[in-house]
Amino acid sequence: MPIVSSFMSSQMQLKSSSVTVSGSKFSGIVSAVSNAVASYVPSTAQVQSTNIVVGPGAGTFTGRVSGLSAPVMSKLMQLKAAIAGLTGRDIGKLCDAVSFGVIQAMRQVTVQGTVVGGGPGSGNGKILALVAKSLEPIIIANLSAKILMGSKTKDLISAIAFGVCNHIMSAGTITTTCIGAFAGPPTGPVTIPAAPGMGKLV
């Protein structure tokens, strides 16, 4: 299942209702962040895995993203915001709500890729290639369309993008399940302890 913008946004709104965050500007930010993350992360993220498989051969892998934490992502956002002078209870609540929605959406994502040199087996992977500075202008473009730009908006968006990208790459893990064909005797089957895999979020 891909990252669904509407689901992410609804989860942010759900979290915000429990911490009394509301208003037209909040709704606009939620919508802008959800749209941007849903388009940027799947199109940019690269998944690299290391797999223990039977080979030689060729195969594919699937997996799900785990290891992410909304409170940790929110903390990264708040730390980045504080450097820019954005502090306070409302900033914390906003970061909590945004992080909650992003994490819930990421838990629905499927990872798919190919395995080099082997077939059936399993392994582990990481998410790479996300850049906060690339996510920022996409969020800002969505905000501009909603006429929600302000003097501190760029700093806030920078903090949100920083938290999203860095937490996903540092904490996100994928347990892979590999399938495929392997060569029979006399070439195989043999165990390949570190078959590389490359994939995407889908």
pTM of the model: 0.94
pLDDT in tens, 135-151: 999 999 998 777 667 77
Total tally of structural domains belonging to the chain: 1
Determine what percent of the chain is predicted with pLDDT higher than 70.
95
Average pLDDT, the chain: 93
Q: Name the pLDDT band for 90 (thresholds 50, 70, 90).
A: confident
Which domain, by its residues, includes 64? 5-201
**14 or 21, which is more confident:** 14
3-state SS, the chain, equals CCCCHHHHHHHHHHHHHHCCCCCHHHHHHHHHHHHHHHHHHHHHCEEEEEEEEEECEEEEEEEEEECCCHHHHHHHHHHHHHHCCCCCHHHHHHHHHHHHHHHHHHCCCEEEEEEECCCCEEEEEEEECCCHHHHHHHHHHHHHHCCCCCCCHHHHHHHHHHHHHHHHHHHCEEEEEEEEEECCCCCCCEEEEEEEEEEEEC
